[in-house]
Amino acid sequence: MQVKEVMSREVLAVGRSMSLKEILRMFKDFHVFPLVPVVEEGNRLVGVVSFRNIIDAFQYSNPDVLKLIPFLDEEESIFELDVPEDMGDLILVEDIMDREYLFIREDAALEEVYSLMKMHLKEELPVVDRIGRLVGRVGIFDIVKSIFKESRILSE
């Protein structure tokens, strides 16, 4: 079975110039902040934004280099973050997005996406077509549901 057979085609994506305030408003009713694809003209996937990217934007005192030293890997509490009021308008997706990210092609086998998710501890990946356009997203639960449907534990 291929990814395109189980993926969700409904994906909320953002552009590079969207502000942090706009992205937070967009997902205000979500219980969990999703992996948010960043697209350019033609719906071409160019990055992703995660909850971690948003939190990291406010942790100036702990550069990534220090995270490589095990005994210095202490993270500031999110309750202690200094978040100036105007930062919601000043920080753009471009500033916080991951430019190196995992994705899967729509014609990949489910076994391949499951292995990739397991290896990289991901629960969801953006799905692209042959030319890199965002066409959907696939989550670990999509894979589990497809297995249950094949074994007839879950009906269509």
What pLDDT score was predicted for residue 115? 96
Work out the average pLDDT over 77-99: 81
Q: What is the pLDDT of residues 5-33, one digit of tens each?
A: 999 999 999 999 999 899 989 888 887 77
Q: Which domains, ranges and CATH numbers included, belong to the chain?
A: 3-150 (3.10.580.10)
Q: Reply yes or no on whether the pLDDT at 72 is more than 50.
A: no
Prediction pTM value: 0.79
Distance CA 10, CA 143 (A): 16
Q: Share the mean pLDDT of the chain.
A: 85
Could you please report the per-residue DSSP string of the chain? -BGGGT-B-----B-TT-BHHHHHHHTTT-SSPPPEEEEEGGGEEEEEE-HHHHHHTT-TTS-GGGGGSGGG-PPPPGGG----TTHHHH-BHHHH-BSS---EETTSBHHHHHHHHHHHT-SEEEEE-TTSBEEEEEEHHHHHHHHHHHTTSS--
